[in-house]
Amino acid sequence: MNIGVDLDRPTDEDLIEQFQQGDIEAYDELVKRFRLPLFSFINRMVKNSVVAEDLLQETFIRLYLKKDSYRQIAKFSTWIFTIGSNLAKTELRKMKVRRWISLSGSKDDDRPLELADKSTTPAEDAQRLDMRAHFNKEINKLPQIFREVIELRDVQELSYDDISIILKVPLGTVKSRVNRGRQRLKDKLRSFR
């Protein structure tokens, strides 16, 4: 007996097949299912919610335009996360070039330096929020190779095999990065308590 499993709910693979046959409602359902997990993943990679939102939209545009390129040799979630990952990696490369150009020449960047507000309140809810914010901050401080595997494994709960396919790295490398990333997080979070 499968408790909590909706047997009438179509799988992601059923939905993409329906969408490939012209069912726009199936596309809408896929967007609904993957909007938050993909945004979270992309945002962790690029560390900019506005850019992440743009990349999320581009991911769904690519899904719409390239729906027929999906084949059921891999899970749909692996395929869509791979699209998002590739777009994020391309954007990160562009950001590095833009950052280098702005540091090396432009003098008309007069924007004031903005510092994050780190104040907290003593209430329990605020403390939990603060801990969550600290956790997210520490994940974001991880090198990208650890940040992306932690996001995919521990936040999105994808399998090691799926992560290996998405990131195009060997399975052993994925497992090693997850373990090393988790250890780094544990070390950082111990000092927070």
pLDDT tens by residue, 134-188 = 777 888 888 988 988 988 888 888 899 989 998 999 999 999 999 998 888 888 7
CA pair distance 20, 107, nearest whole angstrom: 50
Answer whether residue 2 shows pLDDT above 80: no
CA pair distance 19, 31, nearest whole angstrom: 12
Query: What topology does CATH give the domain 9-106?
Result: Rna Polymerase Sigma Factor; Chain: A (1.10.1740)
CA pair distance 185, 156, nearest whole angstrom: 17
9-106 shares its CATH topology with 122-193? no
Query: What topology does CATH give the domain 122-193?
Result: Arc Repressor Mutant, subunit A (1.10.10)
